[in-house]
Each structure stands twice: as C-alpha cells, then as structure tokens.
C-alpha cells in the first residue's frame, strides 16, 4: 500500500476501511489473473 503515514493518520476509520477493501479487491483480481494464466 503506497500511502503516506501522515495521510493515514488523518483518515477516518471508514476511509481506512474502504482503502483496505479496495487494496484487497485489487490483490484478488491480480491473483485470479495469475491463476487464469497458469492454467
């Protein structure tokens, strides 16, 4: 996750949660794509 610590501290819990979900979704998509390629 390429976010500055200062920015992270300024964020609300909701914003942090949304960012983590977004990151997880991106990682999931990349992982799925990798599996598709290896088949």
pLDDT tens for each residue of the chain, 39 residues long: 577 888 889 999 999 999 999 999 999 999 999 999 998
Report pTM. Answer: 0.62
Could you please report the per-residue DSSP string of 3-15?
A: --HHHHHHS-HHH
20 inside domain: yes
- pLDDT for the residue numbered 30: 96
> What is the count of structural domains for the chain?
1
- pLDDT for the residue numbered 21: 96
Rounded Cα–Cα distance for residues 20 and 3 (Å): 11
3 inside domain: no
4 inside domain: no
What is the extent of the structural domain holding 14?
Answer: 10-38
- pLDDT for the residue numbered 39: 85
29 inside domain: yes
30 inside domain: yes
- pLDDT for the residue numbered 29: 96
């Amino acid at each position: 996750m390429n976010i500055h610590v200062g920015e992270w501290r300024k964020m609300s819990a909701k914003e942090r949660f949304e960012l983590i979900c977004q990151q997880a979704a991106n990682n999931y998509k990349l992982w799925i794509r990798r599996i598709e390629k290896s088949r």
